[in-house]
Amino acid sequence: MLLIILNSIFCVSFLAFAWVNLNDSDSWLWVPIYMAASILCGFAGFGLYYPLVYLFFIAFYLIYALVLFFGKDGVRDWITKYHTPSITESMKATKPYIEKTREFFGLLIISAALALNYFVSGGI
């Protein structure tokens, strides 16, 4: 029952995240990222698990998270160069590191949700 509730929350949340990304310049990337996670969590809420698909998307999301971490004005720069100022002051990304850092943590959240479903499904 807990997994049904958790997957329902993930499904709706990721759907909402996809919705708010529709007006971004990089919506072509982020809407499918969030929609794939939303759909997979929705299926898991109904007891339909796809371990190989989870592994594929987790790998893609974590590789992209590494790109955002080490890229110019990425998470590493946010930590070392900018000394971790708040990334939640406003919804508008006024500094170059804000959007990349937020996207990085979003990818980690998605990966964690899919990893949870992967392990619940019994893996491969």
Three-point CA angle 55, 30, 119, nearest 5°:
20
Checking if the pLDDT of 45 tops 70, the result is: yes
Checking if the pLDDT of 60 tops 90, the result is: yes
Q: The pTM is what?
A: 0.89
**pLDDT score, position 123:** 73
Confidence grade of residue 99 (pLDDT, cut at 50, 70, 90): confident
What the block records as the tokens of 109 is 């959240």
Three-point CA angle 19, 24, 30, nearest 5°:
60
